[in-house]
Structure 1
């Protein structure tokens, strides 16, 4: 081997070693990116799940030729890798952490809140469906629902998200205004006895009132909501499989109603997905991540998608859903819904799907 050949071989050898080092560095950095946290959560398309196998109504029927499906969004804390991916993909979004979990909360708090909201959504769906089917429904005020606790205030140490405050110093608190009234005459440093239920068990605790942030009032530091006991004439079992949040309200209402109405099949053979909260008066409300839910429904083969028409401008859930449907080129029909009766009327107007 002459000197020139030796020189060229040496250069190739050094180049190969240099490339190997660069490749190894890239692999190491990529691996570390999965362990580097960011201050964001990432959301992306979840799944569309048939509600028939999840919901059982006592004395109801399950002879749907189609299916009602709830839709989900996948959400998790974004490490550096997910952060980069979300900035490159049209099917992933980043949300600042403070919009998902409040200051001082952790993932366990978030999960408890989402599950509590889902439980309430299920009960309201049952009430709306039974009323539409002609049954009497009783609604009783149960107490003050703890939907969050404020960092640095006494409730943070003794109460959990999902607890229900039923009394202050032995005086019943049927709803949030009763809690406010019970504390209105108190001052900082006063002690009160809080009676609450957690997972069906009653508990009591003494707390010392403190000034509330950005307020002249004192309190215990909870974000309250009203908890209602909804009594229906038949048993309904919903296996929500750990799914949280309120957005399945509309679709659960339709599935329960379909099982109650033994005279007809609301689905008429179609695969029907959708989303939207449900109120006791049947109003369908806005939800987050509808673009991800449209994608999930399309992948599951849905033919109809109900979307809340919460406003009449371009910011409505319905318009967001339309834009996503156009972007992905789906043939799925996007249907605007303001109330559950709108969804029923639309289905009543469809011809049964031929098999």
Structure 2
């Protein structure tokens, strides 16, 4: 009996430990991630940058909570978010990752375009089709199409842009059968279905939300190996690395430069989430300069949320909190970053760029 009692107690202990330390709960921990050197991630005509210094992208780590790790929220720069807050209307983590991969691909595309535009070099945009972001429940292609598919043809017709695609569909009749070709993970599929009346606009449609899917062709050829990293926030740093390589300019001058921010094709730098955690990650990896989006806050938004702060303000507060010597530099456009880097002296000198001031929104 004592032996049986011992095994029962041991089993109960294992069960308790499982529920405390391993059992997932519907919450996620957001905390400082990594600062990744871009030299081994970006190649131009098969070559990698070898100049002194680094450009680094920064990340936020997201991990599913357990009852034990739920307590991490009380640690500095560890935040707890619910599944609803993280996923929104997305059904599961797989779809979330698919969306993040799309954002990364789009970020790579925009970064290359912004860099080549700034360098005055030509490039070609190759339209691939429409990227499926979601499928409505009442769509006759529900269960066929899924997030991440690219529709390449409708009724054996190819289109030059998404506007042509939409115009063709909306000129057809509700209930009319269309044939589509679409790609998923490199494989082409075909399907047929009837068009529906879109609830939002009342127009004829397939029943999907969509965005452009295109690639950019350049000479010299640029390849960005983003790996498993997702999201759009590496855009600014990607564009700086690409620009410095295609123009053969040593912009970093031996400095370790980290940063974050989305990049538009026109060079506009946009805000991102978790910038305070990215400041922590950059500081741990020895960055001496950190580029932060200096997003302008809409007065109406500031009026409704008086405590709302720009990315730059949050980054400055985090830097002051950890007492880092890393300089936080506000960036609105790609050209802002280039101009700042062009005035840097080599790291071997004693010159230190003047700390930029907070540009508070009215």
Look up the SS of the partner of 2:50 in the other structure: coil
Decide whether the 8 Å contact of 1:294 with 1:321 is kept in 2.
yes
Q: How far did 1:247 drift?
A: 0.8
Alignment of 1:31-180 (within 5 A): 31-58=18-45, 62-86=49-73, 88-103=74-89, 105-151=91-137, 153-180=139-166
Cα pair distance change 1:327/1:149, threshold 3 Å: farther
Partner of 1:333 in structure 2? Answer: 327
Q: 1:26 to 1:105 in 2, by over 3 A?
A: same
Query: Of the two, which has the highest radius of gyration?
Result: 1
Structure 2, unaligned runs of 5 or more: 1-8, 303-307, 350-362
What does residue 257 of structure 2 align with? 272
Q: Tell me which moved more, 141-150 or 229-238.
A: 141-150
Q: Is the 8 A contact 1:109 1:160 kept in 2?
A: no
Cross-structure match for 1:284: 269
- Give the SS at the match of 1:42: strand
CA distance in 2, matches of 1:95, 1:175: 38
Question: What stretches of structure 1 of length at least 5 have no aligned partner?
Answer: 1-20
1:173 is displaced (CA, Å) by 4.0
Q: Does the 8 A contact of 2:287 with 2:326 survive in 1?
A: yes
Kept in 1: contact 2:42–2:48 (CA 8 A): no
> Are 1:103 and 1:151, in contact at CA under 8 Å, matched by a contact in 2?
no
Cα RMSD (Å) of the superposition?
A: 2.7
CA pair 39-59 structure 1, distance change in 2 beyond 3 A: closer
Contact kept in structure 1, 2:133 and 2:211, CA below 8 Å = yes
TM-score by length of 1: 0.83
How many residue pairs get aligned? The number is 331
Q: 1:296 aligns with which of 281, 286, 309?
A: 281
Q: Which residue of 2 aligns with 1:318?
A: 312
For 2:83 and 2:206, the matched residues in 1 are separated by 25
Query: In the alignment, what sits opposite 1:234?
Result: 220
Question: How far did 1:286 drift?
Answer: 1.3
